[in-house]
Amino acid sequence: MMTLYGYFRSGTSHRTRIALNLKGLDYDDIAINLAQDEQLEDAFKAINPQGLVPVLRADDLLLYQSPAILEWLEEAYPEHALLPQDAAGRMHVRALSAMIGCDIHPINNRRILQYLRNELSVDKEAVIAWCNRWITEGFAALETRLAADKNRGQFCYGDRPTFADCYLIPQVSSARRFKVDLTPYPNIVAIDTHCRTLKAFADADPMVQPDAPKHA
């Protein structure tokens, strides 16, 4: 049994949950409440000195940084592969993933937004505008890539979910939270809609996690 330290709304935790679910792997979930800065407490920093989620504990291994966790899962549990068999296909999936994981998500994550709000006194509307700017710029490029792939099925690549879908679905959730107009990105929306019909994705959704706020 593995243990995932994460947060319901964390995009990196979300993508890791999707990958674990697609692999059919069981894991315990330990919530680290980012809203209360639990990631900065000594107890968690003893697990990850960066103070970031997710962290995956697998026996004596402590795995951190979601791209590395996904790569480890692919190597340690090759069944239900999340990378294509051919080198060109693997490159393409990793590139799509990096477009999201390197060029969109990091500049819209909680640490950056907290700095904008608290240190630079940026107001709510300007923070939303910041998120919109970088998400729409990234999605425009990603949409072009997806539209150009004439062999693509219902996922980001081919006819089965890959790393790229693990990255995309949490970013779409974030886009909706920041009121991004998704109309210009029909391929992204179609992939998101299809993935959310699958149990592995539905069970990873932030709002069904144990630490998600419960509304009456």
Number of domains the chain is built from: 2
Whichever domain contains 22, its CATH number is: 3.40.30.10
pLDDT at 215: 60
Q: pTM to 2 decimals?
A: 0.96
Tell me, yes or no, whether 129 lies in a domain: yes
Q: What is the mean pLDDT of residues 49-57?
A: 97
Domain enclosing residue 132, as ranges? 87-201
Tell me, yes or no, whether 213 lies in a domain: no
Altogether, the residues listed in the chain come to a count of 216
44 and 102 within one domain: no
Q: What is the mean pLDDT of residues 70-95?
A: 98
Of 56, 81, 66, which Cα lies nearest the Cα of 155? Answer: 81
Structure tokens at 19: 């990958």
92 and 182 within one domain: yes
129 and 26 within one domain: no
Local confidence band at 6 (pLDDT 50, 70, 90 cut-offs): very high
Structure tokens at 107: 């500049």
- The larger pLDDT score, comparing residue 1 to residue 138, is at 138
75 and 123 within one domain: no
167 and 134 within one domain: yes
122 and 91 within one domain: yes
Question: Which residues lie across from 30 on neighbouring strands?
Answer: 5
Which tens digits make up the pLDDT trace of 129-153? 999 999 999 999 999 999 999 999 9
183 and 163 within one domain: yes
Which tens digits make up the pLDDT trace of 96-125? 999 999 999 999 999 999 999 999 999 999
150 and 95 within one domain: yes
Q: Are 12 and 106 in contact (CB under 8 A)?
A: no
Which tens digits make up the pLDDT trace of 31-40? 999 999 999 9
Tell me, yes or no, whether 215 lies in a domain: no
32 and 12 within one domain: yes
